[in-house]
Chain A
Amino acid sequence: MKSTWILARMTFREAVRRHIVLTGLVLGVCFLVIFSVGFHFIYANMSQPNPRVPAAAQLIGLAEGINFLTLAGLYAVTFLSVAMGALLGADTLAGEINSGTIQTIVTKPIRRTDVVLGKWLGFALLLALYSLLMSGGTILSVLIQTGHSPPHILSGLALIYFESILIMTISLAFSSGLSGLATGGVVFGLYGLAFIGGWIEQIGSLLQNQTAVKVGIVASLIIPSESLWRRAAYEMQTPLSGALGMSPFGTTSVPSNLMLVYSVIYLVVALALAVNTFRRRDL
């Protein structure tokens, strides 16, 4: 346990010293600035009174518009967090095995399991900070400008964060056996599969095409990352767009609680695989 913590600290420090944190921070702030400025102008445009529309309808439309833009921002944040998770996990074990750095680590009186768990923990902490900055920043920016915030923020943000650590864990699992580049390829491939599967399910559900919905569910079973985003979007959508089921970020086919449980199990299994592969391999 103590060794896990030592290695988590090392992983965290590595990210700081190798400017991963700094670049993430700078680009994150850039993202937030662009989002905020863009949002500011769209919001100004949206809040212009329109004499042909009743005031009550205008108010509802404005609230929907704000929520839509917030979710659009969070969708981009989700993608960035996933990419961050994939990249952090991809080269860590593979890279250290390749360079030989790992040799003086695993010949210490620690378990190889501690090495994997320590790295996982370090990355999970980093991603938590990243999520907090990006998702929190997006929501805060909207809140300051409009006084609006989406419902169920905590569960929504937790789901987005969970998606990023799920992808990071999958990346870590592949990285324990494959090269960093191959891992990156596989993980982004899987993410793409989940992405397209999610949209097929969504559109299938809108058209009430059960086969398309099943294709989407199968894709979510192969990799449940996108279903986590859709659940997050569902949690954070306004009651109205939920009822209408029309928003591209709202969701007509809601991933069930069972899918959430499945995702948790998926993560645990991926982590166990990472540990097991790393424990068995020659270094």
Chain B
Amino acid sequence: MTVAAINTEGLKKNFGERAAVKHLTLQVLQGEVFGFLGPNGAGKTTSIKMLLGLVRPTSGTASLLGAPIGHRPTLARVGFLPEHFRFQEWLTAREFLTLHGELFGMQARDLKSRAEELLERVGLSDFRDKQLRTFSKGMLQRIGLAQALLNRPALVFLDEPTSGLDPVGRRLVRDIIHELREAGTCVFLNSHLLSEIEVTCDRVAFIRHGEVVRTLELAALDQDLSLVTIRAAGLTPEILSGLERWGGNIQAEGERLTLTVQRETDLPEINRYLVTQGVEVFAMTPNRLSLEEIFIETIGKDGGL
């Protein structure tokens, strides 16, 4: 059995009275692209900081690549792009990568070629000798990403990697994440952009008040979950409550009824049930749920406040 890339057990962090992360229990597999979703203030960044040893957990345990958090040699195999990245802006792009590569403990020759390769990959080759103070936010994000990948990590944390980027830059990040997956790197992605998550991640966890409320395989999104819109006459509250055995989120407005169902195969049964209850069914349309709809459904419209 391979060790998990990330394993946490009841991880908790209090800042004074306030619990930033309540009880985080999570497992992320090696080679997986994992999305970490939740509303603002759900404890996503604090969770990442605990995993990387920046913040000391109040209680609970966690491991990265099989080693307890804070284990230094393991950090040589981990990359990190922080959310509010600020870098040594007095360094040039190449000096910046050299510094971080040295801190990773990389050998000079390897570091030199790796830095060139990454500058090329993130499209900053022409700016290699420019100081970071002259960089735009998007360029800083790119060089930050290069920094996170210098050591060819087995596990990389990207906290809002596309926040400063234009569509071209976002595309670049998406492509890089695909390449990382191909290479067997585990990517832990924290992003607000659900459309990004949807196209890049294998699996996501929804976090609310510092707890995982749901994990989801995105590949299963297509078949397993759908929102069904039914147009029918003669719906009564009793009939509606009878629908609860197949799905949730039942909402009826006049002749329009929507509900979410777990399996597509439930649809004929629902139809049969409605007909036997004397309901006239005009139309039944299954829609694939978008990640955003699942997000709202899971977290709630209040954003978990």
Q: List B contacts of A109 (CB < 8 A).
A: 72-76, 103-105
CA distance A283 to B48 in the complex (A): 12
Check B99 for interface membership: any CB of A closer than 8 A: yes
Please, which residues of chain B bring their CB within 8 A of the CB of A103?
Answer: 54, 80, 82, 85
User: Are B147 and A110 touching (Cβ within 8 A)?
Assistant: no
Do the beta carbons of B75 and A104 come within 8 Å of each other? no
- On chain A, the residues within 8 Å of B80 by CB distance are 103-104, 107
For residue A18, which residue of chain B has the nearest CB?
Answer: B90
Interface of chain B residues 50 through 75 with chain A (CB within 8 A): 52-56, 72-75
Give every chain B residue within 8 A of A105 (Cβ-Cβ). Answer: 103
**Chain A residues touching B, majority SS:** helix
Q: Check B87 against A104 for contact (C-beta < 8 Å).
A: yes
* A85-127 near B? 1/0 per residue, CB < 8 Å: 0000000000000011101111111110000000000000000
With a CB–CB cut-off of 8 A, which chain B residues contact A69? none
B109 within 8 A of A: no
C-alpha gap A3/B103 in the complex (Å):
6
Q: How far is the CB of B195 from chain A (nearest CB, A)?
A: 27
Closest A residue to B83 by CB, please name it: A100
Which residues of B lie under 8 Å from residue A152 when comparing CB positions? none
Inter-subunit contact A107/B99 (CB<8 Å): no
Partner of A104, one of B56, B76, B91, B100: B100
- Report which of A14, A107, A108, A111 forms a contact with B88, defined as CB distance below 8 A: A14
Q: Which residues of B contact A101 (CB under 8 A)?
A: 86-88
Mark each residue of chain A from 11 to 33: 1 if its CB lies under 8 Å from any CB of chain B, else 0: 00110011000000000000000
Closest Cβ of chain A to B291, distance in Å, is: 28
- Distance of A186 from chain B, by nearest CB (Å): 24
Interchain CB contact under 8 A, B78 and A100: no
Whose C-beta in chain A lies nearest to the C-beta of B105? Answer: A109
- Cα–Cα distance between A259 and B88 once the two chains are bound (Å): 40
A107 CB contacts on chain B under 8 angstroms: 52-54, 75, 78, 80
Closest 10 CB pairs of A and B: A17-B90, A108-B103, A109-B76, A109-B75, A99-B86, A282-B55, A103-B82, A283-B54, A100-B86, A107-B52
Binding site for B on A (CB under 8 A): 3, 6, 10, 13-14, 17-18, 99-101, 103-111, 280, 282-283
